[in-house]
Structure 1
């Protein structure tokens, strides 16, 4: 198991900028502007942040998105934002030689290397929360006290942004058929947000690695 915790509640700017981009793409600039205004984040839309942002901004943005959009619309926006974040990381944060190596390796070892890197930098997306990786018969990722669901109460998991980011990275670097599903969520009252990671050709040998 790998874990990482960060005390100061700051998060990378992708959590804001990619949400703005996804909102504009799917709902239009006017809706994006109304949502950012309602969340008290119009300044982030006018001047997209380039440094770490307060995790409270991320919490407020997700809360307002869930209030202004249908569950289906909110899910679609958050998933697109997650994919855009993963594309940014692939283009700017994960060195090309590392990407080549991960694609060559079998899925099991590649997943371990990728998740070790994600865990080292987990404070950039969990803020004051915690990120854990649990290897075993099944590969699961856990976010404890994450910012996305802090002010949201729902009957279904709401951390689509995280699920899509993980899934897109895994599909590009580990296995193209990877699926990441959030099976427990703080918005539903669960103590942790739990993400199950699977790929279709995963063998018993790969699981045990």
Structure 2
């Protein structure tokens, strides 16, 4: 399916993996309360199997920050991001491609991986816009970010994306990769920018 066919929708991992991280860190009861506040209780009984409305994912991530505080929300989001990357490695990136990336020089593996990420960016950027520039460091940008649109924060809030990018690059490009969110639309910046260094 094309990006246009899914405008305003993102992959269900932004909800499913958050549920798993919440249950792991805080238990089933608090998970149920938070999903109820986000209006997403049905997803706990029947996790979404298709693309979801990005507004649903945004509500959930907003509830995490408002109810748990920034530190705990970041911990949950990072665990969910790592789990999302693990899902992609297990189900979306062919094993022969992974094996090839792991033996390439990091600079080349980075460029090849970014081609794939750009091609599938609509699955996580939704109606937003993704861009990437390979290099040392590598810079990833999401404009009109669907998960923090309309939010206000004094600090960057896109821990879910940062953890997903970081884990993918650690597994496929360089094991010492670190991802830092340099700017965030929730903080009033013009885009959410992520820097990957190794």
Cα distance in 1, alignment partners of residues 112 and 71 from structure 2:
33
SS at match of 2:127: coil
Cα distance in 1, alignment partners of residues 71 and 36 from structure 2:
22
Cα distance in 2, alignment partners of residues 55 and 164 from structure 1:
19
The gaps in structure 1 that reach 5 residues or longer are 200-209
Cα distance in 1, alignment partners of residues 184 and 35 from structure 2:
24
Q: How does 1:11-22 map to 2 (within 5 A)?
A: 11-22=10-21
Query: Structure 1's 85 and 99: CA in aligned 2 closer, same or farther, altered over 3 A?
Result: same
Partner in structure 2 of residue 202 of structure 1: none
Deviations along 1:75-118, one digit per CA (max 9) or x if unpaired, are: 00000000000000000110000000000000000001111101
Deviations along 1:22-45, one digit per CA (max 9) or x if unpaired, are: 111111111111110001111111
Cα distance in 1, alignment partners of residues 137 and 102 from structure 2:
21
TM-score of the superposed pair, with normalisation by structure 2: 0.96
Partner in structure 2 of residue 206 of structure 1: none
Deviations along 1:125-176, one digit per CA (max 9) or x if unpaired, are: 0110011002355310000011111142111100000000000000001000
Are the equivalent residues in 2 in contact too, given 1:179–1:197 (CA < 8 A)? yes
Q: CA deviation at 1:8?
A: 1.2
- Bigger relative contact order, structure 1 or 2 (CA pairs below 8 A, ≥6 apart): 1
Give aligned pairs, total: 196
Partner in structure 1 of residue 153 of structure 2: 154
TM-score of the superposed pair, with normalisation by structure 1: 0.91
